[in-house]
Amino acid sequence: METLLKIPFPIFSNNPHILTTKPTKPLKVSIKPPPPDFDFRSEILQESRATISRTYPELLDLANDGTLLLIEKKLFGPVPSWRTEFVEPEAIWLVGTTHISSQSAAEVERVVRAVKPDNVVVELCRSRQVFLFFLELNLCFFMEIF
C-alpha cells in the first residue's frame, strides 16, 4: 500500500478505498480434473495412430516412432460461440523434429506433401529466429543489388 501511495502520477478519484485491496474469493471451476489413473498420452497416441493408419497409412511409421501426432478437433472440445473471428482447425498435426537433422526435414516434407495442410507453423528457438532474420535481411539486400 505504501508503494502505491508514492506513485509518481496523480490519481483523480473521490473514492477513499481506491488503493485498498479486497480479499479474494476462491474461484469455482466447473471443470473436473481427470481421474488420477487417466493416461492422456496413451489415449491420444492410440487415437492418433488409428486415424493416421486410416487416412494416411504412408505416415504410420512416423506415428509409430512418436515423430507424428494427430490431434483432432473433437479431442480439444467445441469452439465457444463468442469466437467468431477465428476458425479452429479440424486437426492439428504435430511433427517432432531435431533442428539440424536432414532426416527431420525429410519427415516434415513427407507430412506436408501427404496432408497438404492449409497452414504450417514452425517453432524455433531464439537463436534460430535471429539467424533467419539476418538471412532474410541478406536476401533482401542481395535482391536490391540485382
pLDDT of residue 140: 57
Q: pTM for the complete prediction? A: 0.58
Cα–Cα separations (whole angstroms), residue 50 to 76, 87, 97, 133: 17, 25, 22, 39
Mean pLDDT by 10 residues, the chain (146 residues): 51 59 64 73 86 95 92 71 71 86 91 91 75 67 51
In 53-112 the beta strands, taken as DSSP E runs, fall at: 68-72, 91-95
Domain boundaries, the chain: 40-145
| Rg (the chain; Cα; Å) | 25
pLDDT of residue 1: 46
pLDDT of residue 103: 92
d(CA 146, CA 134): 19
